Amino acid sequence: MKYNKDYFYIQIKHLKEGPIYPFQIHVYNNVNHQHTLYLHANGPLDKQKKQLLEYIIERGGEIAIKRKQSKTFLQAQKLSEADIPSLGQRKEHQLEKNQKMYQHLYEQRKEAKAFIFDHELKSAVNTDDFSEIIEQVKSEVLTFEVTSSSTISLAIFLAEALLTEDNYTNRIVAISYYVAKTINILDQEALADLIVASLLAHIGLTQVERSVFQGSLTEMPAQTNSSYKKHPALSQHLLRKSGVKLTDRCLKTIIEHHERADGSGYPNNKVEEYIEPLALVLGAVSHIFEHTIGLHDGNKRGFDTVITNIRNQSVSSGLELGFGDKILNGIEGLLK
Ligand SMILES: [Fe+2]
C-alpha cells in the first residue's frame, strides 16, 4: 500500500533543475512499503545516483518527497501544484475517515455525560461492572492519530475488535491505561504500546500445561510455578513468530511485565532503571487483578480490597509492591 500522509510522489522528469536540490529525495520501496532517504538536500544527484534511481523506478519503486518540503520543491523545480497530481489530490484514507467519525462520536459521548475516572472507578467497583471504563478507553483510543505509526493503528484495530465487553483482560487494559495517564504517560504512541501489550501479554499462557490453571500460585509445585513464569517469554516468542509488527517497547513491556523495581521479578531480575515503565504499569495492574481472582492465594477479593492491601502493605497473600514509587503512588491514589 503506497500510503503515507507525509510524502508526495514525483517522476524523474520533475527533477530537472539539478544536480543539486534544496530538498531531500526519498525512495518508496514497493516490496517492504518503506520510505527511505535516498539523497540529502544539497547532495548532488550525480550520474551514478540518477542511474540507480532510474533502476529503482524500473523495479516498481517511486521517488517521494516530504510534504513539508513541497513549497521548496515546487519553487526549486519551477513547478506548480497542478504539475504533481499526488500533491494536490491526496485522497483521505479510510482510516482517517474512521478517525473523524470516532472523534465525532467521542465528542457526542462527552457531551452526553462527562467521564470522571475516579467517580467511574468507584461505581465500577461497587457494581463489579467495568464496562463504562472499558468503553471510555475504547472511545479514546479510536480517536488516536491513526496515520502516525503502526503501533497506533494496531492499538485502534485491537481496541475496536476486543474492547467490546467487560472481561478480565479488558479490565487490565483499561485500568493500565488510566494508571499510565495518572502518572503522566500521555503520548499516544506509548499509550498505544500499552494497549497492545496489555491485550497480548498473556497469550503465552496458551502454551503452558493445564495444571498451571488449577490451584493458586503459592501452593503450586515448584515445577508448575516455573512453568507459569515462562509465560512472558512465551508471549514474546509467539508474537515475534506471528509476524505482527510490534515496537521494541511493546515487546519489552510484554516480557518485562513481571519484573519488579526492587529486582524481585522475573524472568531477568531487572531493577527499576532497566525496566520499561509501561511494563511496571502493566505489571502492577495485572497483579492487582490476579489478586481479585485469587490467583496467588486462592482467595477472591474486591478490587478495592486489593488497593487497600497495597496501601497497608499487607503482603501476606503474595501481594507484591515492587513497582517503583511513582507507579505505586498512582495505584495507591485509586479509589481515594
Ligand atoms: Fe503475567
**204 CA to middle of ligand 1, Å?**
9
Give the pLDDT mean for 270-277: 96
**287 CA to middle of ligand 1, Å?**
8
Rg (CA), the chain: 25
Element of type H or E holding 277? helix 277-292
**185 CA to middle of ligand 1, Å?**
21
More confident residue, 224 or 243: 243
**249 CA to middle of ligand 1, Å?**
17
Which position has the grid cell 494497549?
195
Element of type H or E holding 36? strand 34-39
**202 CA to middle of ligand 1, Å?**
6
**229 CA to middle of ligand 1, Å?**
8
More confident residue, 23 or 89: 23
**133 CA to middle of ligand 1, Å?**
22
**210 CA to middle of ligand 1, Å?**
16
How does residue 3 score in pLDDT terms, banded at 50, 70 and 90? low
**230 CA to middle of ligand 1, Å?**
9
pLDDT score for 201: 97
Tell if the pTM clears 0.85, that is, is over it.
Answer: no
Give the pLDDT mean for 112-119: 94
Distance of alpha carbon 197 from alpha carbon 249, whole angstroms? 9
Give DSSP secondary structure letters for 72-117. HHHHHTT--GGG-HHHH-PPPPHHHHHHHHHHHHHHHHHHHS---H
What confidence tens digit (pLDDT) does each residue in 155-187 have?
A: 999 999 999 999 999 999 999 999 999 999 999
**247 CA to middle of ligand 1, Å?**
19
**177 CA to middle of ligand 1, Å?**
16
- Mean pLDDT of all residues belonging to the chain: 92
What confidence tens digit (pLDDT) does each residue in 127-140 have?
A: 999 999 999 999 99
* Res. 120: pLDDT tops 70: yes
pLDDT score for 227: 86
Give the pLDDT mean for 50-73: 92
How does residue 212 score in pLDDT terms, banded at 50, 70 and 90? confident
CATH number for 96-332 (one of 1.10.3210.10, 1.20.1050.90, 1.10.3720.10, 1.10.357.10): it is: 1.10.3210.10
More confident residue, 317 or 197: 197
For helices 131-141 and 94-112, the axis angle rounded to 10 degrees is 140
**282 CA to middle of ligand 1, Å?**
9
214 CB-contact burial (10 Å; exposed 0-12 / middle 13-18 / buried 19+): exposed
What confidence tens digit (pLDDT) does each residue in 69-100 have?
A: 999 999 999 999 889 988 876 667 888 889 99
Grid coordinates in use for 78?
519551477
**232 CA to middle of ligand 1, Å?**
6
**139 CA to middle of ligand 1, Å?**
26
pLDDT score for 72: 93
**291 CA to middle of ligand 1, Å?**
12
* Res. 1: pLDDT tops 80: no
Give the pLDDT mean for 286-300: 93
- Identify the CA nearest to 144 among candidates 199, 102, 178: 102
What confidence tens digit (pLDDT) does each residue in 236-248 have?
A: 999 999 989 999 9
Tell me the CA end-to-end span of the chain in Å, nearest whole number. 49
Lowest-pLDDT range, 27-36, 179-188, 266-275, 318-327?
27-36
Q: Are 62 and 12 in contact (CB under 8 A)?
A: no
> Which phi and psi angles does 279 have, rounded to 5°?
-70, -35
More confident residue, 33 or 250: 250
**231 CA to middle of ligand 1, Å?**
7
Q: Domain residue spans in the chain?
A: 7-91, 96-332
pLDDT score for 87: 82
